[in-house]
Amino acid sequence: MKLNLFSPLPPTRSDIARLTVHMAPRLARAAELVIWSSEREWKVEPPSGVTVRHYDLQRPPWREINQADATFYQMGNDPRYHHAIWHMSQQHPGIVILHDLMMQHFFSGLVFHDRGMNRREYLELVERYHGIKGRVLAEAHLQGLLATEELAQRCPLTGAATENALAVIVHSDAAFSALPEDASVALVPLCVGMDMPVLEPQKFRAPPEPYRIALFGFLGPNRKLPLLLRALATFPERERFRLDIFGTMDGEEKMHQLICRLGLSETVTLHGFASASELDVALRETDLVVNLRDPSMGEASGSQLHLWQYALPSLVTRRAWYATLPEETVAFVRPEHEVEDIQQHLTEFLANPETYRELGRNGRRHVAENHSIESYVSALLEVAAGTSELQAKWIARDLARRTATAMSGWSDDSTIDSLSSEVALQIGLLTAGASTEFARTG
C-alpha cells in the first residue's frame, strides 16, 4: 500500500509534527509512505520506506499525489501549520486526522493571518454551518468585540474542517458525537509522539522541598494561568512550591506584570518555549503538573498523555475529554471553583504526596495499556485499507447532493418524491464499481 501523509514537521513547534515523526517508521513497516510538507526545510531523517517531499500549494504535484492508495491529513487548529493542509484536503479528498474539535481558531486565523481566506469567504462559511446568528457573531469577532474562545463554543466550525473528507479519525467521544451521522468516523485513542521514557528509581521516592509544579504547552486563555497564579499567591504555604511555566503565550509581558503584582517573582519562572530535550529534563524534576482547560477544545490531550509517561500527577478540569479520565489517574478541579480546588489539592499534596504520586503511576500504566503507538498506527492502516469503499461512499454522497440541487431547480416536491427512489438506485449502481484511482476533484 502507498500512503500520503500531509503534516507539519520539525522544527515546527507542534505536537502533531512530533507525532508524525514518531509514527512514520511504524507506518513504513506496512506501507510505502510519502510525507508531504509545505515548508521548504525540515529537520527529519526519514527512515527506510519513508520519503519526505515538498509541495507548492499553488501548483501541487497531482500526478505523484494520485499514485497513493490513501491520503492522510493531519489537521489541527493552528493556521500557521495547517492552512496548506486544509486547502489540499479541499481539492483531494482523503482521511482527515482531526486533532482539535473546535476549529474556529483555525478559520478565523486564516483571515487574520492572511492564509488564503478573506472576510467574505469566512463569514459565508460560518453562516453555512451556523446560520445567520453565527454570521452575526463572526462579524462581532472580526471587529474585535467577541473573543475567539467564546465564538468557538457557539460556532466551532468542526464540519468545515472535514466537509470534503472520505473519513475522519477522532480521539474523543465528544468529537465522535459532534460529527454528522452520515460521516465516516473512526474513534482512535490518541498516542504520544515519543517512546515511553525510562525513569530512574529516585523518581518514585520523595524529593526534597520545595516541590516543583509545572505547566507546559501552548498557554492560551483556556489554560487558566491567572487563576493558578492567584491560587498560589494566596496559598499559606506557597514557599514550599516553585512553579515552572514552559510554552508560548500571547501577552507574555502582562503575565510578567501579574506575577510581580502578586509577589510571585521568587516562586514562578517563565521559561518560554522548551525543546523536547529541555522539557524531558524539566519533567523529570517535576512533582505536580497543572493541566487545566476551560473551555476545552473537545479533543484528547497530547500533553496529558505526555506528562503521564513521566508518572506525574496532574490537576485537570472536569470537562469534556478530561472528565472521562479514570478517577485513579488524575486530580479533578471543578469549573468555576479553580482557586478553591487548586489550594485544596496543594494542601492535600503537602499532607500526603504519595497519594498524588500514585495517580501519576496509574496514569503511566493507563497510557501504556490504552494509548500505544502500535495500536494507533494499526488503526490508521485499517482505515486506509478501506479507502475504496470510502471513495465509493463519498462519490455517492456527492452525486446525491448535486442531483438534489439540480432537481430542486426544475421539479416540485411531488415529482422529486416520485423520482427519489430511482435516482438513489442509479447512484448506487454508478458508485458500486467506483475506481480506487481517486484523482483531484477540486
Domain 201-374 has CATH 3.40.50.2000: yes
Is 201-374 the same fold as 2-103+156-187? yes
With beta carbons less than 8 A apart as the criterion, state whether 160 and 352 touch: no
In order along its 442 residues, the chain shows pLDDT tens digits of 999 999 999 999 888 999 999 999 999 999 999 999 999 899 989 999 999 999 999 999 999 999 999 999 999 999 999 999 999 999 999 999 999 999 999 999 999 988 889 999 999 999 999 999 999 999 999 999 999 989 999 999 999 999 899 999 999 988 898 888 878 999 999 998 888 999 987 555 556 789 999 999 889 889 999 999 999 999 999 999 999 999 988 888 999 999 999 999 999 999 998 988 999 999 999 999 999 999 887 678 999 999 999 999 999 999 989 999 999 999 999 999 999 999 999 999 999 999 999 999 999 999 999 999 999 999 999 999 999 999 888 887 767 666 666 666 666 666 555 555 655 555 455 656 554 444 434 3
With beta carbons less than 8 A apart as the criterion, state whether 430 and 399 touch: yes
At residue 435, the pLDDT reads 45
Domain coordinates in residue numbering, the chain: 2-103+156-187, 201-374, 402-436
At residue 421, the pLDDT reads 61
- Collect contacts of 25-30 with beta carbons under 8 A, ≥24 apart: 25/49, 25/50, 26/373, 26/374, 26/377, 27/3, 27/377, 27/380, 27/381, 30/1, 30/381
At residue 439, the pLDDT reads 42
CA gap 178, 171 in Å, rounded: 12
Instruction: Compute CA distances 22 → 45, 48, 91, 141, 337, whole Å.
Output: 12, 14, 27, 37, 38
CA gap 175, 165 in Å, rounded: 15
Residue 413, amino acid: D
Which of these, 345, 341, 303, 356, lies nearest to 227 by C-alpha position? Answer: 341
With beta carbons less than 8 A apart as the criterion, state whether 37 and 58 touch: no
CA gap 438, 81 in Å, rounded: 26
Element of type H or E holding 303 = helix 302-308
At residue 220, the pLDDT reads 87
At residue 397, the pLDDT reads 74
Q: Which CATH architecture describes the domain 2-103+156-187?
A: 3-Layer(aba) Sandwich (3.40)
CA gap 148, 339 in Å, rounded: 24
At residue 68, the pLDDT reads 97
63 phi, psi to nearest 5 deg: -60, -45
Is 314 in a helix, a strand, or coil? strand
**Which one-letter DSSP state was computed for residue 30?**
T
At residue 422, the pLDDT reads 54
Q: Report the interhelical angle of 252-261 vs 225-233 (nearest 10°).
A: 10
> SS3 for 204-245, per residue?
HCCCCCCEEEEEECCCCHHHCHHHHHHHHHCCCCHHHEEEEE
At residue 209, the pLDDT reads 86
With beta carbons less than 8 A apart as the criterion, state whether 356 and 347 touch: no
At residue 400, the pLDDT reads 66
- For the entire predicted model, the pTM comes to 0.88
At residue 438, the pLDDT reads 42
> SS3 for 377-435, per residue?
HHHHHHHHHCHHHHHHHHHHHHHHHHHHHHHHHHCCHHHHHHHHHHHHHHHHHHHHCCC
